[in-house]
Structure 1
Amino acid sequence: MFNLEKIVRPNIQQLKAYSSARDEFKGIAEVYLDANENPFGTLNRYPDPQQMAIKKRLSEIKGVNENQIFIGNGSDEVIDLAFRIFCNPSKDKALTFIPSYGMYNVSAAINNVELIELALNQDFQINTDVLERYLEDENLKLIFICSPNNPTGNCFKNETIEFILSKFKGIVIIDEAYIDFSTKESFINQLKNYPNLIISQTFSKAWGLAGVRVGVAYANQEIIDLYNKVKPPYNISALNQEAVLNKLDNLAQFEIEKNIILNEKEKLEKRLEELELVKKVYPSDANFILIEVTSANELYAQLVARKIITRNRSNLVRNCIRITVGSEKENKRLIETLQQLSITSSEVENSL
């Protein structure tokens, strides 16, 4: 049975959170003389440290309580704070499945926590038979599951994730950075069934706010309380909060832009499959497409020379390049360039 007290680091349990001026007074006043702010300007006041306006709107959209929501400085803060809250440095462990998002490894290293990396099978799915023996390790505190996965683009099977949630006595973090592009439902609907579940989402992808750096964690209130205890007092600026609220107040435009991206992805997949230099187009539940080519290093360099930047992922998946779905104009230029490279490649082969 899951016991949160056994998972949390003792020093975090005993930690008394910093109480900022805006934590102690939450109302509206006419004169503010409590936070040592400059009285002049338009951005002279500290932002809401708990981002209550964003939480209220997300609560309405996602169907979860406001006290089940944490707002982070990007999803990276959600990841980093999980290590700080649950893992004792040089003692505890975390686990993830590779290839996947590189920040799990980086955050583990920064926090001096061993990260176990289990390889996905040939279909980019989790092998539960290999995983099961790790679940009984009392020092294993965190499991990261990126679904839809980056860079492979696929979602993991629901039954596999539910197996992990029910068997593991530690914290399971499902990174749903790309879930808005998928036909699969978010695991947010499962929060009531699994007290050890944290869902991580972001405004950087489908919401088009990568420059704002705002991520979200959804979990039960006890876990969210721990996040709020450990986070910096004012981790989200007033400008960034305003940008998020503006997006949340325009859901119709969000849906329009998301559908444009999905339509462009479908067209891009078809065009990529027609190219001789593309060996395989992997199925994608995200806003990017992973393709296998003859030489990823060579193709990446050729595209860079033509001022088109993709992501060479051959260090994670052999001879694979990850292509973000861009605008219609950008996608057209990419395909035309790849067609030219295909013709050039064929001419070279025929001359040999």
Structure 2
Amino acid sequence: MRRSADIDALQHVLSAALGSPDPVCSLRRLDRGTGAFVALDAAVVERPTLVGGGSPYHPSSPAPSRHALDELVRRAETLGVPQILVPNVRRSDDTSALRAAGLVPVAAQSECVVRLTGEVDEILRTRIGAERLDGLRRRDREVSLGVTWERIRLSELDGSPWARDAFVTLHRRQAERHDGHANLYNADALDVLAHGPLADRTELLVRRQQDAVVQAGLITTSHNGRGIYSLTQAIDHDDPAARDGLFAASVYRLYLHARRSGLEWVHLGRGDVPRMRRLGADLFVPLDHWLRAPGLASPEEAGAEHPLSEYAAPPVTGVPVPGPARFRQVPRFDTIDLSSNTNPFLGASGEYPHLDTTELAGTYLATIATLPGHEGVDALSADHLLFSSGSVDGVMLLLAALASPGERVCVTPPTFPLYGHFAHLLRLPVVEVPLHGDDLSQLDTDRILAADPRVTILCDPNNPAGTRLDPEQVHDLVVHGRGLVVIDEAYVEFSEKPSYARLIAQHDNLIVLRTLSKAWGLAGARCGIALAQPGIIDALRRVQVPFGFTNASQHAVRDRLTDVRRVLAGIRRIRAERDRMASALTEHPAVARVFPSETNFLFVRLHKHERVMDQLRGAGIVVADTGRVIPDTCRITIGDRRANTALLEALSSAL
């Protein structure tokens, strides 16, 4: 909960649960089975602690102000309590006041959020897969046959004493199952909540099997009216598998309820990230408990800004990251945003895109780390990644951020023409050092190094040749060059050779560009990715226009990244069809040569080039005519079998 008044209300609930006018207890009583304090000294865990500035209940708390912390310290001194705990603060908040007051972060579980961007079943199908969705729906149907679903507004709880008693009983049993940790939802706590300021926004969820209550929980609507916090759930069953099944079914039912009510998200509370991801959660916000205790030393400050790269162009060094992009790591799903001057009356498209892409960056890195040829990518973090509006946008950003007018840019034709195009627009002299070798896979490293370019841009796998560059030559450029080496890996997923992304953490002059337009099938989402050392990424952010990565694109990317099996299956199909087409074209009398390909296209040298191109155009087939770059050639994208067969037939007609 991001409103101080709501946190204050939950503080009163905690005091009632503890049977004390002030929220004072040991950390052990608050742990509730999460093990957050298990690494602390036993004396610290058992010592009386004043809980303030936040709530140990599920919603996270805004970092308290310096004034609020001063009040908290004075209160602890008055009570004679030696320790202070501020629980569940988002790591992305400004925590400087907490550090200044002598509090130390203790890592807690992340809070887990499900964002409802469309119909529930469609969202879950893309996030967790059809098989798991079918299992979730089946479990919901099975549960619903014998178990009711009831919602009781907490302000009206006095009229349902049976629900109150069942809630209290189930939560007492749950606390007993968790090794006797404190029951933070006993009768006194529930009564204070039911008669407090949150009562009108909070409902008690009850599931009954005949006359017996088997599940009871609390949900509350956020103060911005756009989502639901799940405060607690207790299930009356000794079998953990049965409890998990009923919990999952109820979460699914909660999604449906939220969507029907026009809400945009469901906050599931803190929890195990893999488990919550399997339930459809797509936003995970890291939390810390902040503790002040005698003798507790503060660790090295985490999350500090990385120093700007020495490769940043002089104008970039003197400017900050622009405007709201400075707060890109701050999730704002549960705040009221009155800062953006947008129209609130025309739906969600009237809002600016989310800037909190840290979780999405982590998901991308974790996903590609499982792919062949990507060993070592798990050493990268979200600080090593920038999302752009397609990888072409990434080229423009890096040239603007890392090169000054007059500094040379080296390209290696045949290559993607927009590298040189953008360099010319930015008044950067372009040095062309052509590829050589039968397969156009050899670099003239001596000429490139002699040119001493500020930036060398390599396309690997190459477009339009389709071949991979010699890795030893690429390595020589990275190690021996004084400038930056940029490797555009738009087609790397189709290759059986490794990605250079694994080397990012080892070289401060290496940038790898990726895209989701090719193998991932998201050309319309316009998602490019730059991987580099954090100091370079910071320089790119200072040039990038905020809000270029739209919400629709973010949703599409997030869903596709959770459907890797489908992507890999598509890559296998393209490779198989590529091999079939390469074989057929090699034997075709209209074709002089088919270059080896590690992409989703074939580079072909033709007999009677102009005649063949005219015939293809007449057949309604468009291929890339590369004859001006390499005489008598074209580049043929691998389509589906029908399209590829049509191309072969059209080629035969050209003879």
The answer, yes or no, to whether TM exceeds 0.5 is yes
SS in 2 for 1:337: helix
Q: Does 1:60 align with 2:376?
A: no
Task: Answer whether contact 2:402 2:539 (CA < 8 A) is retained.
Answer: no
* Structure 1 residues 276 and 49, CA gap change in structure 2 (3 angstroms): same
Of 40-49 and 18-27, deviating more is 18-27
User: Given the superposition, is the C-alpha separation of residues 127 and 248 from structure 1 closer, same or farther in structure 2, using an over 3 Å criterion?
Assistant: same
Show CA shifts across 1:47-75 (max 9, x none). Answer: 12252332121121232211101000111
Displacement of 1:30 in angstroms is 4.6
Q: Which residue of 1 aligns with 2:50?
A: none
Residue 350 of structure 1 corresponds to none
Aligned residue number for residue 156 of structure 1: 469
Q: Match for residue 47 of structure 1?
A: 353
The whole-number CA distance in structure 2 between the counterparts of 1:5 and 1:272 is 48
Q: Deviations over 1:210-255 (max 9, x none)?
A: 1221100001111111111211111111111111111111111111
2:449 maps to 132
CA RMSD of aligned residues (A): 1.8
Q: What is the distance in 1 between the residues matched to 2:325 and 2:352?
A: 9
Deviations 1:144-178 (A, max 9, x none): 01000000000001100000000111111000000
Aligned counterparts of 2:565 and 2:514: Cα–Cα separation in 1: 20
Of 396, 403, 420, 1:87 maps to 403
- 1:28 maps onto 2:28 in alignment: no
Alpha-carbon shift at residue 38 of structure 1 (Å): 1.9
Which residue does 2:317 correspond to in 1? 13
Q: How many residues align?
A: 335
Contact 2:342 2:350 survives alignment (8 Å):
yes
Distance 2:398 2:390 in 1: 13
1:259 is aligned to 2:564:
no
Picking from 560, 564, 568, the partner of 1:247 is 560
Question: Which residue of structure 2 lines up, in the alignment, with residue 69 of structure 1?
Answer: 385
Q: CA deviation at 1:189?
A: 0.8
For residues 190-225 of structure 1, the C-alpha deviation after alignment (integer angstroms, 9 at most, x for no partner) is: 112211000001011111111221100001111111
Aligned to 1:119: 434
Alignment map for 1:270-281 (pairs within 5 Å): 270-281=583-594
* Matched residue, 1:326: 639
After superposing the two structures, state which structure 1 stretch, 307-316 or 25-34, moved more: 25-34
Q: CA deviation at 1:294?
A: 1.9
Shift of 1:5: 5.3
By how many angstroms is 1:6 displaced? 4.8
Q: What secondary structure, in the 3-state scheme, does the structure 1 residue paired with 2:636 have?
A: strand
Aligned 8 A contact 1:297 1:312 in 2: no
3-state DSSP class of the match of 1:252?
Answer: helix
2:623 partner letter: T
Q: Note closer, same or farther for the CA distance 1:67–1:202 as it changes in structure 2 (3 Å cut).
A: same
Equivalent position amino acid for 1:77 in 2: D
Specify every segment of 5 or more residues in structure 2 that has no aligned partner in the other structure, as ranges: 1-306, 370-377
Counterpart-to-counterpart distance in 1, 2:620 and 2:309: 52
Whole-angstrom CA distance in 2 between matches of 1:122 and 1:301: 30
1:105 aligns with 2:105: no
Structure 1: which 5+ runs fail to align? 346-352
Q: 1:223 to 1:22 in 2, by over 3 A?
A: closer
How is 1:300-319 mapped onto 2 (pairs within 5 angstroms)? Answer: 300-319=613-632
Q: Is the 8 A contact 1:202 1:216 kept in 2?
A: yes
1:212–1:240 Cα contact (<8 Å) kept: yes
Q: Computing the radius of gyration over CA atoms, which structure comes out larger, 1 or 2?
A: 2
What are the Cα deviations for residues 278-331 of structure 1, in whole angstroms up to 9, with x where unaligned? 010100111000111123222111100110111110111110011000001111
1:22–1:46 contact (8 Å) kept in structure 2: no
Q: Is the 8 A contact 1:68 1:218 kept in 2?
A: yes
Percent pairwise identity: 27
> Counterparts of 1:212-251 in structure 2 under 5 Å?
212-251=525-564
Structure 1 contact 49–235 (Cα < 8 Å) conserved: no
Q: Residue 322 of structure 2 aligns to a residue in which SS?
A: coil
> d(CA) in 2 for partners of 1:86 and 1:15?
14
Structure 1 residue 270: Cα displacement:
0.5
Task: Give distance in 2, aligned partners of 1:174 and 1:134.
Answer: 18
Structure 1's 35 and 222: CA in aligned 2 closer, same or farther, altered over 3 A? same
1:338 corresponding residue in structure 2: 651
Deviation at 1:16, TM superposition (A): 2.1
Kindly indicate whether the alpha-carbon contact (under 8 Å) linking 2:309 and 2:539 is maintained by their aligned counterparts in 1.
Answer: no
Q: Alpha-carbon deviation of 1:17?
A: 2.3
Supply the AA of the counterpart residue of 1:207. W
SS in 1 for 2:316: helix
Q: Distance in 1 between matches of 2:342 and 2:478?
A: 46
Alpha carbons 1:22, 1:48 under 8 Å: kept: no
**Inter-partner Cα distance in structure 2 for 1:6 and 1:35:** 34
